[in-house]
Amino acid sequence: MTKRLFIYICFFASFHKVVAQDLFSFENSKKFGEYLLKSGQYEIASREYERLVYLKPADDTLKLNLLKAYRLSNRTDLGIKRTLQLFPDQSALPFDTALEYSKLLLNKQDWMGAREFWKESKNLPADEKVLLNTTVSIFESDFKAANGYLSKIQNKENYLAKNYASILDRGNLSQMKSPALAGIMSTIIPGSGKAYTKNWKDGLVSMIFVGGMAFQSYRNFSNKGFKNYRGWVYGGIGLGFYLGNIYGSVKSAKNYNKKKINALQHEASTHFNLYY
């Protein structure tokens, strides 16, 4: 009985060892890493891929997934650092890894570093470089430069190129509001500058208030002369609000442009993520 029990114990110990070894085999670890990446467990995935890269340092797919895990877990700096360590010659990065490294640089908003990398990259096609440079110019709010880059695209039917062209068309200076014009309009007719920037409510309030103060000041001066303090009080309040209205109109135009540009940049980001 004791001998049989001993045999059972030895058998189960051996079986457990075999199962454990199989569980932590390279192929199973690779599948586990893929599962973690797909299920959004990016930080754990990065640790798993670090181990896999250590086991197979020549496997570029493992390196790519490691960098992706770092980017998706919002550890951009670490992702960039590991790219430099794993690929001493960044100009020779494989296409997919070059795109992943580009995303890391864009997340860091290292526009200059990104442009230098694309310039030296040997495995990024010309059209991809055009699209990536256009992306940076859009996020720098330099739509003129973005148009210049996009004009060099060879495949005019490219999904991202077509959507960027639409965004740049709507970001044209003619679609923006002029802060100088808004200020001049409110100087002539209080509130009209804000109405020009589609801030109708504030524009109407400004017009009524400035007009009301001016009327009260005029009425008091007309009835009681220029020595009447109420006329000066109403006039002073009206003048202060009038000057504030001019400044507010300029600021309103700038805010209008900023909101419009931010909306276009958000749209560009959406298309970029769908494409890449």
- Per-residue pLDDT of 77-104, as tens digits, reads 999 999 999 999 999 999 999 999 999 9
Q: What is the DSSP letter of 176?
A: S
Band (217; pLDDT cuts 50, 70, 90) = confident
- Distance, CA of 155 to CA of 62 (rounded, Å): 31
C-beta separation of 170 from 237 below 8 A: no
Distances (CA, A) of 219 to 205, 207, 212: 21, 18, 11
Examine the pLDDT at 128 and tell me if it is beyond 80: yes
Residue 3's pLDDT is what?
Answer: 47
- Per-residue pLDDT of 144-176, as tens digits, reads 999 999 999 999 899 999 999 999 988 776 678
Check the CA dihedral 60-62-68-73 and report its sign.
negative
- Per-residue pLDDT of 25-58, as tens digits, reads 888 889 999 999 999 999 999 999 999 999 999 9
Tokens of 1: 């009985």
Band (208; pLDDT cuts 50, 70, 90) = confident
For 45-67, the three-class secondary structure string (H helix, E strand, C coil) is HHHHHHHHHHHCCCCHHHHHHHH
Lowest mean pLDDT among 89-103, 114-128, 221-235, 252-266: 221-235
Check the CA dihedral 144-146-152-156 and report its sign.
negative
> 25-120 architecture in CATH?
Alpha Horseshoe (1.25)
E runs forming strands in 80-184:
none
Distances (CA, A) of 117 to 7, 70, 75, 92, 93: 63, 19, 20, 10, 10
pTM (global) more than 0.85? no
Q: What is the DSSP letter of 93?
A: -
